[in-house]
Structures are given as structure tokens and as C-alpha cells.
């Protein structure tokens, strides 16, 4: 049984070769039956993936199931003996062939075995021109299987065949299954015959030629597979997966510079996840990863993308010129990344163009500054490529800059920015933006103390800010921000151009929205006092009636000034206008915060009183207004005593609509004006 937690004990090259052998003899149904009987939770495609590793227990279960399905007790010897056609990686065949002779291969065989299994140790006791003695021991904690022993013998018999010699003959008298300390194999083979017909009869197909063809097919297939990737992340996963077909190793590491900047993109196989960032930094930094690493650059004529490493265990270095094989594959990977990145850049530009066009349409319909800032902040990440954005508006009266809208921030970060106030006297960067339209690059390390605190509070390590300036009028600031490690290599050039383009749209839209606000305000408010006019007053009254819940009451107070004509006649219209402004101020001071005061015409004012607990509460508010008019008004340097008559109407007692309530309150006011002084008249 495999050790607890073990998982990288048997290479996918072994399981893949096994399934190919079964498929060649019995078809796909037999392959499915082998997997079913073995109880291995994997698909044929997963078991055929050379970048995957499996447990020793999985391996033996597959061996046993294959023996049953093929109904042949020595099936595993045949599987091992057929690896040159079905199971041995083409790159390994080429490496072994380059060693020159079976003797040299057997001397290097212990290192080659580690490419397929981590549960056993092989020792070469003797290696000569026509024979070798090998000791093969399964590690403690695993139960030895004769099926594994048969498979190993089949593998060993193929070594002379790599050099077009007949298979080796094996004598096996000591087996670990019989209680021996290890399995010992004695192999013998014939020298190369000098007779050409015997050389031809030794092996029908040259394994080296077969491996070269297979390697070419793998490279072609890898190129097609990589180019077919839809995005960079998918391509990187496939690069790691395909690397196992170029060089068999226990682990792989790929680190690529992010195309748009930010932290590197890292993929690994056979490595602890928590170690990937550390190893990737060392790989990209060209640090020495040790003698067990085969490292190649993934680079094309256009750019250097990153590096790829095949990693072996300490004390188990690579065999032969595996770097050249991995480099050939890395060239395909670089070309594929060039194409995919170019396509992604094209898609990104198209997306940005679409976002700009959509923003233009949305801004054309925006009715107020708040809506403009929301739209612009939401569009900036797509257009600029930032992770967060904000729009801050300038309040010229208060002399301060405040956030209006944000995007890409948490609720806490957005709230912190909304509560921050930037003033020129505390923020040198703001002083510059008030006079200079040039984009400003900021960071959380070198900014002024107040701004630095804000940047760190919202998690923006780098920010590009563009002033929003209409002519000579400073409207605010548009910002694009990145968290630590996210920002592109350069925050000038394209980033600033895109941000400035959006800022120009925002400036135009803000001007238009503010103009619309002014026009709308003028259409609904009295020009002299700034109070709602009759149209807006009736709208507010209608809304208050609609919102009434039946447990509270809505009242209307209709106010008409006493002796207003006398002021106009004796002091002039300018004094009359000043009186009306003072009257509006007194009315606003007399009512509650939620009440609405409006000027209907001339010297007629009205008040909406929503949410009254009792109808009689309206009388109390009317009395308070009358009382406020007992103090004289100061006009033209003299006191002028102006009173007011107030009529009251309560919904629904005195009317069900806004117009009905206003007419009732108007009538009550006239009755009150001609009555003796006393409590305000009611309708």
C-alpha cells in the first residue's frame, strides 16, 4: 500500500504506455475495463498525461487489472518489453541512444528510472559490453508486487534494442517478493553482427528514427495546441502540461512576465503551492536553482516572456542534453504566447474602444453631475486597465476636493475616500492640479503625508490623476489606481493618454450636467428667493400626499404678507425684493427640516407640512410663523413692521389633491386676513 499522502510516485509515462498497450491489443473498451477494475478515479486522457503522477498503489492496481483483462499472467513483461513502441518518452530514447552503447545506458539507468518512479532504487552492480547485473529494491513502506517485477524485466530487456540489437535475455533468481532484500537481474545480449542481413533482422524499425518522428509529431502537436489556447492563462497551463513530453521530470516550473504588468504569472506541477512564488522569483531573477534544474528561456524575436524549468530531486541531475530538447519546445511556447498576447491586446483595445463609445452614449443622457461621475468611474478600469478608479469634485465655495464616485474598491475603502477632504493648504499635489492640466503620477511612498494616508487607506499603491479643467475652471480630478504589484511597468504614455481621453469626456459631461442643473433649477425655483416655485411646490405637495401612510397627516400653510404694497410704494421695488428675501429666510427658520417652503407669486408663500401626528399640529406651526413676523424687518436702514396672514388646510379633511388643499388654504388665509386677530383660520 502506498504511503499516506503520497501522490507523485508513478509517472504518467508509465500509465500512458500501459493503456496504449491495452488499446492496441483489445481496443478502447478494454482500456475502460482496466480503469474500472483498478478502481482508479481518472480518465484515460488523464492517465496518458505525462505531466501527471500517480501513487504506487494506483500503478499496481492498473497492472493487476491489465493482467486480468488481457488474461495473460506475463502481460506486464510484455507491456515493459513494448515501451519503445508504446510507453517510453521519445526524448528519453534520443538521450539514451546518444550515450552510444548498452553498457553506457545501463550505467546511467538508475537516473533514468527516477523519471518514472520514486518508490524504488536501482543499482548497477556490473555493466559490460554484453552483460549487466542490476539490483532493484522497492523502498520500505511499500508492498512488493511480482507484476511490478515483471514490468521492470520487460523494460530492462529493451535497452539493447535502442541500438538495434536483439532484446536482452534476463535471469532472475532473487526476488524481493520471495523475501530477498532486493530483486537482482542478470542481463546478457549479443554484440552487433557484422553481417548486414542479421543487423536488419535484429529490429525491424530503428528506435531512434521512431523517436525522432514521434518527437517531431509532439512538437507539431504542441504548437497547434498552444496556438489554439484562448488566453494566456490557458496557454501557460498547456505549456507546463506539454513540457513533460519534451523532458520527463518529477516537477516543472513556469514563470512568465504579465503582459500588462503586475506580478508574474506562475504555473507549476509537482511542487508545493506555497513555494511557487519563491521559486518563480528565483527563476525569473536567474538565480541558481541547483544542479537538478534544467532551465530554458521562453523568448521569441519580439519579446522575452519568462523561463521554464524541469526540476529533478537533489543529487539526481538531468541526463544528457535535455536543455536542448526543452529549448526546442520553449521556442514553440514563445511563438504561441506572442500570438495569444497579440490577440489579447487586440481584444483589449477593441473592448476599450467599445467602452469609450458606450461611455459617450451614456454620458449624453446623464442628467446630473453625480450620474456623470458614477458612469466615468465605472468605465475607467476597462478603458485604462486599472483595478480601481475615482472621480473627485471640487467645491469652490469650501475650497476642497471630495470623492463623488469610486469603482473597484471595497465598501470600507470607498467610505474612507468619501470621508476624506483634500485642501490645497494640506496637499501640495492639489495646488499643482489647480493650475496645471498635466497628468500627475502618485504613489503611497512619496506623496505628501495627508495624501499618502488616503492612498494607503484605500489600498492604492500607484495612482495617475488627471485634472478636469473646463477652460480655466477647475472641476475636479479623475484617478486610475493600482494595488501593490499590479501597476504596468510604465504609468506614462498609453495609460495617461487613455485617462486623459476619459477625463475630457467627463469634463464636457460635467459642464453639460451642471448647465442642465442650472436650467432645471431656474425652471422650478423662484429667481429672487431661491425657493421652489408654484410648479415644484405642487409636485412636492403631491409627493407628500402620495407618501402619507394613513397614520400621519399632511397640511398646507398659505401665507400672505400684510402691508407689502406699502413697502413697494414708499421704499421702492428694491426694498420690496429685499423684504421678500428676508421673509423667505424667516419662513425657513420657522419650519421643521423636512417641511417645504415655496413662493407661489408676489407676496404669497406656502408651506408643506408632512408627517403630522395630529391635524391640530398644523395650527401650532402656523402660529409659530405668525409669531416670527412680530419682529420688524430692517429695510433701507429703517425698521419696517410686516405681518402675515396664514391659512391652514389638512389632508384628507380639507381636500384629497394638492390643488384642492392649496385652494382651501388660500381661502382660509383670506378669511383670516379679514377677521379679527386671533388664532389662524382653518378651512
- Where in the sequence numbering do the catalytic residues fall? 603
Q: Closest Cα to residue 20, out of 74, 66, 60?
A: 66
Q: Are 385 and 488 in contact (CB under 8 A)?
A: yes
Q: Please name which of 114, 102, 82 lies closest in space to residue 319, comparing C-alpha atoms.
A: 114
399: left (phi over 0), alpha (psi -120 to 50) or beta: left
* Distance, CA of 400 to CA of 396 (rounded, Å): 7
Burial group, residue 499, by CB count within 10 angstroms (0-12, 13-18, 19+): buried
d(CA 644, CA 655): 24
Radius of gyration of the chain (CA): 43
What DSSP designation does 117 have?
A: B
Look at residue 422 and give its three-state secondary structure: strand
Grid cell digits, residue 380: 475607467
Distances 595 to 353, 544, 561, 606, 649 between C-alpha atoms, Å: 48, 10, 20, 10, 15
Angle between helices 658-673 and 534-547 (to 10 degrees): 110
C-alpha cell at 212: 525522432
CA distance 646 to 672: 7
Question: Is residue 487 within 8 Å of 261, Cβ to Cβ?
Answer: yes
C-alpha cell at 333: 511556447
Q: What is the 3-state secondary structure (H, E, C) of 396-413?
A: CCCCEEEEEEEECCCHHH
The rounded distance, in Å, linking the Cα atoms of 211 and 501 is 57
If residue 590 lies in a helix (H) or strand (E), which one and from where to where? helix 573-590
Beta strands in 245-289 (DSSP E): 251-256, 265-269
Cα 134–chain centre separation: 54
Q: Tell me the CA distances in angstroms from 148 to 32, 87, 119, 132, one per residue in order.
A: 21, 15, 11, 20
Distance set, CA 487 to CA 231, 266, 387 (Å): 20, 17, 9
* Strand runs labelled E in 372-446: 388-395, 400-407, 421-422, 440-443
Answer whether 597's CB lies under 8 Å from 627's CB.
no
Residues 6+ apart with CB under 8 A from 188: 130, 131, 168, 169
Beta-bridge mates of residue 135: 123, 184
Q: Beta partners for 123?
A: 135
Chain centroid to CA 201: how far? Answer: 61
Amino acid at each position: 500500500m502506498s504511503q499516506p499522502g503520497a501522490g507523485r510516485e508513478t509517472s504518467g509515462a508509465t500509465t500512458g504506455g500501459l493503456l496504449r498497450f491495452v488499446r492496441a491489443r483489445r481496443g478502447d473498451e478494454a482500456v475502460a475495463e482496466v480503469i474500472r477494475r483498478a478502481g482508479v478515479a481518472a480518465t484515460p486522457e488523464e492517465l496518458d498525461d505525462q505531466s501527471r503522477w500517480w501513487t504506487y498503489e494506483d500503478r499496481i492496481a492498473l497492472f493487476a487489472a491489465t493482467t486480468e483483462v488481457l488474461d495473460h499472467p506475463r502481460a506486464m513483461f510484455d507491456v515493459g518489453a513494448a515501451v519503445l513502441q508504446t510507453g517510453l518518452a521519445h526524448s528519453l530514447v534520443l538521450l539514451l541512444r546518444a550515450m552510444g552503447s548498452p553498457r553506457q545506458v545501463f550505467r546511467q539507468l538508475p537516473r533514468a528510472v527516477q523519471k518514472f518512479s520514486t518508490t524504488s532504487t536501482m543499482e548497477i552492480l556490473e555493466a559490460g559490453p554484453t552483460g549487466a547485473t542490476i539490483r532493484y529494491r522497492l523502498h520500505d513502506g511499500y508492498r512488493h508486487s511480482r507484476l511490478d517485477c515483471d514490468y521492470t524485466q520487460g523494460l530492462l530487456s529493451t535497452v539493447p534494442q535502442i541500438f538495434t540489437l536483439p532484446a536482452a535475455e534476463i535471469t532472475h533468481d532473487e526476488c524481493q517478493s520471495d523475501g530477498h532484500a532486493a530483486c537482482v537481474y542478470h542481463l546478457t545480449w549479443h554484440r552487433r553482427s557484422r553481417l548486414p542481413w542479421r543487423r536488419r533482422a535484429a529490429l525491424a524499425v530503428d528506435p531512434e528514427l521512431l523517436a525522432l518522428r514521434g518527437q517531431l509529431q509532439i512538437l507539431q502537436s504542441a504548437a497547434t495546441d498552444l496556438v489554439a489556447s484562448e488566453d494566456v492563462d490557458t496557454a501557460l497551463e498547456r505549456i507546463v502540461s506539454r513540457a513533460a513530453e519534451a523532458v520527463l521530470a518529477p516537477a516543472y516550473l513556469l514563470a512568465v512576465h504579465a503582459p500588462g504588468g503586475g506580478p508574474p504569472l506562475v504555473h507549476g506541477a509537482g511542487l508545493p503551492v506555497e513555494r511557487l512564488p519563491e521559486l518563480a522569483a528565483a527563476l525569473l531573477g536567474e538565480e541558481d536553482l541547483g544542479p537538478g534544474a534544467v532551465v530554458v528561456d521562453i523568448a521569441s524575436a519580439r519579446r522575452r516572456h519568462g523561463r521554464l524549468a524541469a526540476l529533478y530531486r537533489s543529487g539526481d541531475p538531468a541526463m544528457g542534453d535535455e536543455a536542448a530538447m526543452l529549448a526546442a519546445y520553449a521556442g514553440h511556447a514563445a511563438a504561441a504566447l506572442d500570438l495569444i498576447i497579440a490577440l489579447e491586446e487586440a481584444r483589449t483595445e477593441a473592448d476599450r474602444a467599445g467602452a469609450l463609445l458606450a461611455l459617450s452614449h451614456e454620458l449624453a443622457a446623464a442628467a446630473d453631475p453625480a450620474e456623470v461621475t458614477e458612469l466615468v468611474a465605472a468605465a475607467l478600469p476597462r478603458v485604462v486597465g486599472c483595478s480601481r478608479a475615482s472621480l473627485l469634485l471640487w467645491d469652490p465655495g469650501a475650497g476642497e476636493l471630495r470623492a463623488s464616485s469610486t469603482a473597484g474598491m471595497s465598501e470600507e475603502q470607498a467610505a474612507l475616500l468619501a470621508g476624506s477632504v483634500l485642501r490645497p493648504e494640506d496637499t501640495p499635489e492639489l495646488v499643482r492640479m489647480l493650475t496645471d492640466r498635466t497628468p500627475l503620477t502618485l504613489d503611497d511612498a512619496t506623496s505628501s503625508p495627508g495624501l499618502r494616508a488616503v492612498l494607503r487607506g484605500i489600498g492604492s499603491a500607484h495612482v495617475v490623476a488627471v485634472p478636469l479643467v473646463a477652460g480655466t475652471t477647475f472641476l475636479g480630478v479623475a484617478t486610475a489606481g493600482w494595488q501593490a504589484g499590479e501597476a504596468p511597468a510604465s504609468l506614462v504614455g498609453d495609460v495617461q493618454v487613455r485617462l486623459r481621453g476619459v477625463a475630457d469626456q467627463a469634463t464636457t459631461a460635467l459642464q453639460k450636467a451642471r448647465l442642465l442643473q442650472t436650467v432645471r433649477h431656474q425652471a422650478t425655483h423662484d429667481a429672487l428667493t431661491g425657493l421652489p416655485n408654484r410648479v415644484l411646490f405642487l409636485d412636492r405637495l403631491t409627493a407628500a400626499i402620495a407618501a402619507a401612510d394613513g397614520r400621519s397627516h399632511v397640511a398646507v400653510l398659505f401665507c400672505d404678507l400684510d402691508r407689502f404694497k406699502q413697502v413697494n410704494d414708499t421704499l421702492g421695488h428694491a426694498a420690496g425684493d429685499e423684504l421678500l428675501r428676508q421673509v423667505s429666510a424667516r419662513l425657513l427658520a420657522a419650519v421643521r427640516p423636512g417641511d417645504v417652503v415655496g413662493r407661489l407669486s408676489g407676496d404669497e408663500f406656502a408651506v408643506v407640512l408632512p408627517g403630522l401626528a395630529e391635524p391640530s399640529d398644523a395650527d401650532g406651526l402656523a402660529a409659530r410663523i405668525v409669531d416670527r413676523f412680530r419682529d420688524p424687518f430692517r429695510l433701507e436702514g429703517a425698521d419696517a413692521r410686516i405681518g402675515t396672514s396664514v391659512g391652514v388646510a389638512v389632508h384628507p379633511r380639507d381636500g384629497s389633491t394638492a390643488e384642492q388643499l392649496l385652494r382651501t388654504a388660500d381661502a382660509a388665509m383670506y378669511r383670516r386676513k379679514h377677521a379679527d386677530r386671533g388664532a389662524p383660520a382653518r378651512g
